Amino acid sequence: MAIQINGNGTITGVSVGGLPDGIVDTDMLAANAVTAAKKGSGSILQVQNTYTNGQVSTTSTDWATTGVTVSITPSATTSKILLNFSNSHYNGTTNHHCYFAYFRDSTNLGSDSNGQQLLTGASGNGLWNTVSMAYLDSPNTTSSVTYSIRWKLGSQGGTSYLMYASSMNLSFTAMEIAA
């Protein structure tokens, strides 16, 4: 079939792979023209981020909210959501444990009933730690999901703080990854 330029601006007769390399570049593609399926497995499809500051504390031995959440609407049920959180933490009490876990809506994504035990207090008048967690979730939905960071103290009790100093900031990121 011969290549033909029609009066309405369309071209017919071009077969797949019929254009020379380099003839179509990213500037020629329409916005959002490449779908998630075309991007391929492992591609980052979207990023949602929450950025906040202001001290948060807990004395709870049950899961308590930190007030830090991020919502994301997956584009496919097969998508994975990569969660990433990092911040400074201060144990205000000697020799106590503090646990952190991700929650999807009301579901604890922790590996056991305690979630991830990330911090253990040491002797002295408290201890600064860095909280850093990454988790790959499979929500199996195209509806909006809200992820939160929750925490609790071990049976020893005490007080724990996030963003202990007013100059500290917290970032919580959710990235949709193509399956």
Q: What is the pLDDT of residues 41-66, one digit of tens each?
A: 889 999 999 988 778 888 888 889 88
Calculate ∠ Cα 158-63-144, nearest 5°.
Answer: 145
Average pLDDT, the chain: 80
Q: What is the pLDDT of residue 81?
A: 97
Question: What is the mean predicted confidence (pLDDT) over 3-21?
Answer: 76
Task: Residue 175: count other Cβ atoms within 10 Å of its Cβ.
Answer: 18
Q: Nearest to residue 66, comparing CAs of 46, 83, 50?
A: 50
> How many angstroms separate the Cα of 57 from the Cα of each of 37, 60, 133, 164, 173?
43, 9, 19, 8, 21
- Environment class of 79 (CB within 10 Å of its CB; exposed 0-12, middle 13-18, buried 19+): buried
CB neighbour burial string for 109-123, b if at least 16 within 10 angstroms, e if fewer: bbeeeebbebbebee
CA distance 76 to 36: 8
Residue 9: pLDDT above 70?
yes
| Model pLDDT for residues 131-174, shown as the tens digit of each residue | 788 899 999 999 999 999 988 887 777 888 887 666 677 889 99
* 97 — pLDDT class (breaks 50, 70, 90): confident
pTM recorded for the entire structure? 0.75
